[in-house]
């Protein structure tokens, strides 16, 4: 139907260009995560059957391994299909001296520069060489989930959805188009700290082009505070985005760097770090906002400014503005009855979305018969898998992932995110994950399959001081006392604290299901 084109590259200009060249050639772009292992990559190649694979020289070995594993294991499947053509993006595509001849490429491979030279010269270009979609709902790209609970799923975006989401991003992030600069407004200069392979870089390749903004590309697999501060100063950056770890990176640099001369908008999507980290980054000159979204909704759908707040209670609120520009509906519903939960700030429901900036569906997966697309939607509403409440003032408060939420012995619904937010404020704590250990018939038989959701709270804690004997530096009881001092209600205070490393998926998220399995399905010597 449509040709698939895969790209594996950091945030380099060539990957930005592919966000235009590939759709304008009538094909579908899949920018893939370069931290995936070659087996997972091979499975994605098998699913997409790409016609071209564009690969940055840094990830050539990874791609060659994946292609090798594909021909070894799946030769019988693709024997009617021509193999994909590899296009190498050499170290410096501007320089003719750096060619792909020094790389060991399969026969028939191309060099990115050579490919560009195949195009007719500019004066022969006509508007008509662009192959426009027949229908605005035709696919433009496929973005893969991290696959923390199974095979990565390919999420299909349409031309319509990415257009609308690009427009919404410009508005949500307050980006000025290049022509309305004045004494008080600066043209948008976007620093690429968010991965372009993540929801197509939150649709920013298209958004920045629409307003005639400037892109500052970074090899984002090598980001440091120095790189960021240098880019901001040199290029007058106005906006950057990414994971909340950006905040920690910047906060650490606060001693070496003077505050910026004009304020920069910084949007992170995920759980915010502790208040004092936020304050440090704010004092450096950043206006911080927090994004809420998911791959299936094309990235953050809500961008809410962070405002310094000394009220400890308010700090735990993860309230979401319900003014979502591109969504027809944004609600918290009982997932059985599909009724909205009452606006009481207490009744838990599932956050659901309906509207124009949602995925078209998942790529058909031979192993799953596309049942994910069906289970992901109910009566036209996309089920986020997040639970939340509605407040009397109309605000929605996101509580937790549905699979992560814990029901306490007393029957309280505990947001593990809220407990983690408090633990992260402990000066010695680097990372945390709170999960529930099911309490089955009040027995100790943890091996028995248990249908009750009532659980005790287990906090897995990674300390900042590496290689330290934890029992000397800090005890479980210290952590528990810290939570009590911070006025956490007793049912939200962890029952047990376990020190050590946390299992991460390729996008850097903690794999809570690993920890949940650990505490629920094995006699692994943890004392409760």
Q: Applying CB under 8 A, which of residues 58, 148, 245, 287 lies at the interface with a copy of itself?
A: 287
Question: What DSSP string describes 446-493?
Answer: TTS-----BEEEEEEEEESSTT--HHHH--HHHHHHHHHHTT--GGGS
Residue (136 or 478) nearer to a copy of itself, CB: 136
d(CA 139, CA 102): 36
In the DSSP assignment, the letter for residue 82 is: P
| Nearest alpha-carbon partner for 55 in 26, 13, 90, 24 | 90
Three-state DSSP state, 40: helix
> What is the b/e burial string over 142-172, where b = at least 16 CB atoms within 10 angstroms of the residue's CB?
bbbbbbbeebbbbbbbbbbbbbbbbbbbbeb
Q: Applying CB under 8 A, which of residues 75, 101, 184, 367 lies at the interface with a copy of itself?
A: 184
Q: Applying CB under 8 A, which of residues 27, 63, 173, 196 lies at the interface with a copy of itself?
A: 173
Q: What φ, ψ does residue 456 adopt, rounded to 5°?
A: -95, 165
Between 107 and 146, how does the x/- string for binding to a copy of itself read (CB under 8 A)?
--------------------x-------------------
Q: What's the gap between Cα 188 and its chain centre?
A: 23
CB of 335 to a copy of itself, least distance (A): 18
Residue showing tokens 């429901």: 349
Residue (33 or 172) nearer to a copy of itself, CB: 172
Q: Is 305 in the site for a copy of itself (CB under 8 A)?
A: yes
Residues 337-356 that bind a copy of itself (CB under 8 A): 340
Between 211 and 250, how does the x/- string for binding to a copy of itself read (CB under 8 A)?
xx--------------------------------------
User: Could you tell me which stretch among 16-24, 91-99, 171-179, 245-253 binds a copy of itself (CB under 8 A)?
Assistant: 171-179
Q: Applying CB under 8 A, which of residues 210, 463, 502, 514 lies at the interface with a copy of itself?
A: 210
Q: Applying CB under 8 A, which of residues 17, 275, 304, 317 lies at the interface with a copy of itself?
A: 304
CA angle at 343 for the pair 338 and 345, rounded to the nearest 5°: 110
Q: Please say whether the beta carbons of 84 and 51 come within 8 A.
A: yes
Q: Applying CB under 8 A, which of residues 21, 83, 174, 270 lies at the interface with a copy of itself?
A: 174
Q: Applying CB under 8 A, which of residues 72, 101, 107, 183 lies at the interface with a copy of itself?
A: 183
User: Could you tell me which stretch among 13-21, 29-37, 70-78, 208-216 binds a copy of itself (CB under 8 A)?
Assistant: 208-216
Q: Applying CB under 8 A, which of residues 75, 182, 443, 469 lies at the interface with a copy of itself?
A: 182
Q: Is 391 in the site for a copy of itself (CB under 8 A)?
A: no
Q: Please say whether the beta carbons of 215 and 192 come within 8 A.
A: yes
In the DSSP assignment, the letter for residue 399 is: E
Residue (30 or 166) nearer to a copy of itself, CB: 166
Beta partners for 461? 432, 499
In the DSSP assignment, the letter for residue 404 is: T
Q: Applying CB under 8 A, which of residues 14, 303, 387, 434 lies at the interface with a copy of itself?
A: 303
Size of the site for a copy of itself (CB under 8 A): 32
User: Could you tell me which stretch among 182-190, 374-382, 469-477, 512-520 binds a copy of itself (CB under 8 A)?
Assistant: 182-190
Dig out the tokens for 205 from the structure: 């390749």
Dig out the tokens for 436 from the structure: 């529930």
CB of 444 to a copy of itself, least distance (A): 49
CB of 132 to a copy of itself, least distance (A): 8
Q: Is 167 in the site for a copy of itself (CB under 8 A)?
A: yes
Q: Applying CB under 8 A, which of residues 289, 384, 408, 476 lies at the interface with a copy of itself?
A: 289
d(CA 281, CA 287): 8
Q: Is 171 in the site for a copy of itself (CB under 8 A)?
A: yes
d(CA 173, CA 300): 11
Residue (168 or 421) nearer to a copy of itself, CB: 168
Q: Is 458 in the site for a copy of itself (CB under 8 A)?
A: no
Q: Is 309 in the site for a copy of itself (CB under 8 A)?
A: no
Residue (188 or 495) nearer to a copy of itself, CB: 188
Q: Is 179 in the site for a copy of itself (CB under 8 A)?
A: yes
d(CA 508, CA 269): 13
Q: How many residues does the chain have?
A: 528
d(CA 124, CA 120): 6
> What is the b/e burial string over 84-123, where b = at least 16 CB atoms within 10 angstroms of the residue's CB?
bbbbbbbeebeeeeeebeebebeeebbbbbebeeeeeeee
CB of 340 to a copy of itself, least distance (A): 8
User: Could you tell me which stretch among 24-32, 61-69, 173-181, 417-425 binds a copy of itself (CB under 8 A)?
Assistant: 173-181
Which residues of this protein are in contact with a copy of itself, per CB under 8 A? 127, 167-168, 170-174, 176-177, 179-185, 210-212, 262-263, 265, 287, 289, 303-305, 321, 323, 325, 340
């Amino acid at each position: 139907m449509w040709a698939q084109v895969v790209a594996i590259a950091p945030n380099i200009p060539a990957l930005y260009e592919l966000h235009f060249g590939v759709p304008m050639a009538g094909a579908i772009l899949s920018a893939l995560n370069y931290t995936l292992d070659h087996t997972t990559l091979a499975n994605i190649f098998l699913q997409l059957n790409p016609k071209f694979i564009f690969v940055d020289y840094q990830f050539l070995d990874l791609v060659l391994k994946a292609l090798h594993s594909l021909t070894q294991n799946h030769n019988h499947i693709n024997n009617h299909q021509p193999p994909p053509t590899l296009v190498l993006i050499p170290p410096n595509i501007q320089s003719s001296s750096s060619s792909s001849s020094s790389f060991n490429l399969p026969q028939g491979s191309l060099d990115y520069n050579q490919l560009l030279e195949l195009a007719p010269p500019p004066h022969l270009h006509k508007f008509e060489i662009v192959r426009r979609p027949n229908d605005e709902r035709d696919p433009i790209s496929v973005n893969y989930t991290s696959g923390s609970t199974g095979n990565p799923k390919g999420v299909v975006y349409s031309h319509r959805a990415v257009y609308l989401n690009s427009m919404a991003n410009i508005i949500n992030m307050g980006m000025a188009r290049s022509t309305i600069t004045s004494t008080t407004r600066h043209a948008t200069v976007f620093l690429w700290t968010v991965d372009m392979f993540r929801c197509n870089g939150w649709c920013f390749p298209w958004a920045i082009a629409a307003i005639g903004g400037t892109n500052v590309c970074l090899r984002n697999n090598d980001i440091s505070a120095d790189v960021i501060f240098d880019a901001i100063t040199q290029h007058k950056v106005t906006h950057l985005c990414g994971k909340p770890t950006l905040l920690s990176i910047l906060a650490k640099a606060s001693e070496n760097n003077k505050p910026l001369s004009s304020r920069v908008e910084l949007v992170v999507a995920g759980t915010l770090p502790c208040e004092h980290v936020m304050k440090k980054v704010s004092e450096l000159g950043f206006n911080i906002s927090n994004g809420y979204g998911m791959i299936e909704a094309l990235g953050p759908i809500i961008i809410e400014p962070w405002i310094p707040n000394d009220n400890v209670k308010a700090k735990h609120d993860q309230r979401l503005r319900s003014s979502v520009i591109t969504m027809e509906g944004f609600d918290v519903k009982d997932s059985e009855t599909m009724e909205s939960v009452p606006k009481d700030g207490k009744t838990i429901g599932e956050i659901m979305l309906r509207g124009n900036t949602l995925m078209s569906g998942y790529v058909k997966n031979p192993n799953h018969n596309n049942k994910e697309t069906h289970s992901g939607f109910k009566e036209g509403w996309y089920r986020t898998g997040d639970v939340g409440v509605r407040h009397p003032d109309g605000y929605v408060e996101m509580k937790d992932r549905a699979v992560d939420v814990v029901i306490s012995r007393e029957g309280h619904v505990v947001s593990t995110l809220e407990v983690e937010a408090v633990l992260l404020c402990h000066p010695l704590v680097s990372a945390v994950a709170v999960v529930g250990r099911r309490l089955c018939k009040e027995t100790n038989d943890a091996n028995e399959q248990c249908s009750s959701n009532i659980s005790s709270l287990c906090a897995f804690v990674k300390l900042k001081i590496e290689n330290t004997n934890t029992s000397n530096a800090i005890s479980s009881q210290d952590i528990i006392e810290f939570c009590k001092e911070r006025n956490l209600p007793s049912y939200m205070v962890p029952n047990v604290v376990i020190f050590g490393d946390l299992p991460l998926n390729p996008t850097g998220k903690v794999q809570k299901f690993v920890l949940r399995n650990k505490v629920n399905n094995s006699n692994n010597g943890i004392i409760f």
